[in-house]
Structure 1
Amino acid sequence: MYEPKSFDDLKAGDRVALSKTITEADGALYIAATGDFGPVHVDEAYAGATRFGRRLAPGIMVAGLCTSILTSELVGTIGVSIEDRFWFTGPVFYNDTITFEVWIAEQYDETRTIVWEASARNEDGLEVLKARATLKFPRKKVAA
């Protein structure tokens, strides 16, 4: 089981990479949980008539995988997200295998924040997502 790191255990440059195949089940669960029934995600005929030619996996679901990897594999769940920015640079289709690379780009001791970035690429090497976000960690407890 992953042990969360404290702010002091982290450093700029720490990184992790992980791959995941985006399945129909992933999309169905996300769509059911969020109510995001956009036709490009659920209607094959509609999606087939778009420039993509087939259904897309929900982009924000894919973005959420970056934060999941950050907390489960790199920093733990102690920090709180205070800003998230995502750029959807390419389509993600069901059954695509996406490789996520997540890293700590900056670390600020005075505010106990880190800025993390991510890049995601499909199995053909096409970048499909970029991210940059800020995570704030609690202050150290002062001994009484």
Structure 2
Amino acid sequence: MYLVKTFNDINVGDCASISKTVTDADAALYAASTGDFGPIHFDEAYARESRFGRRLAPGIMVAGIATSVLTAKLVGVLGVSIRDSFSFTGPVFYGDTVDVSVWISAKYETSRTMDWQASATKQDGTEVLRAEATLKFPRSAM
């Protein structure tokens, strides 16, 4: 069942969060669906020579965790994204657990849009993601 909330059901300050351990399997599914087989994500020898010293989880995959929290737990499936901005503020390695929080930061009645923000930290408290985006809602629910 999909979460369905109308524009009027959602308020500034509403928030939701999730904790997820990022795995090799997550990256394999991500790469299979996007074609992003960058060596920093999959080639141990290549990654060992990088400034990180080991393989990184794809940042945009981590950002996807924020958007999944948004639709599954916070605003539902009626709003569509019209603007997204992600800042990758720290590395996420396979096996890291990320805590992702998403909240509604502004709501505009006339345009039926709302802004949301997100932050993700890993188990040691390091921030790894900041996001802000805008959703547009239909005049009536489906």
What TM bracket, shorter-length normalisation?
over 0.9
Given the alignment of the two structures, is residue 28 of structure 1 paired with residue 51 of structure 2, yes or no? no
Contact 2:3–2:71 under 8 Å retained in 1: no
Deviation at 1:32, TM superposition (A): 1.2
Deviation at 1:49, TM superposition (A): 0.6
Aligned length: 141
Segments of 5+ residues of structure 2 without an aligned counterpart are none
Which aligned pairs between 1:60-99 and structure 2 lie closer than 5 A? 60-99=60-99
Which aligned pairs between 1:1-144 and structure 2 lie closer than 5 A? 3-140=3-140
TM-score normalized with structure 2 length? 0.96
Contact 1:89–1:129 under 8 Å retained in 2: yes
Moved over 2 A (4+): none
CA distance in 1, matches of 2:29, 2:16: 26
Contact 1:98–1:123 under 8 Å retained in 2: yes
Segments of 5+ residues of structure 1 without an aligned counterpart are none
CA distance in 2, matches of 1:3, 1:80: 14
TM-score normalized with structure 1 length? 0.95
SS in 2 for 1:76: coil
Deviation at 1:64, TM superposition (A): 1.0
Deviation at 1:2, TM superposition (A): 5.7
Contact 2:6–2:140 under 8 Å retained in 1: no
Contact 1:2–1:73 under 8 Å retained in 2: no
SS in 1 for 2:86: strand
Contact 2:3–2:77 under 8 Å retained in 1: no
Q: Cα RMSD over matched residues?
A: 1.1
Deviation at 1:33, TM superposition (A): 1.1
CA distance in 1, matches of 2:132, 2:25: 27
1:31-62 deviation digits (Å, cap 9, x = unpaired): 11111111100100000111111000011111
Q: What fraction of aligned residue pairs are identical, expressed as a percent?
A: 62
CA distance in 2, matches of 1:122, 1:54: 16
Letter in 2 for 1:116: W
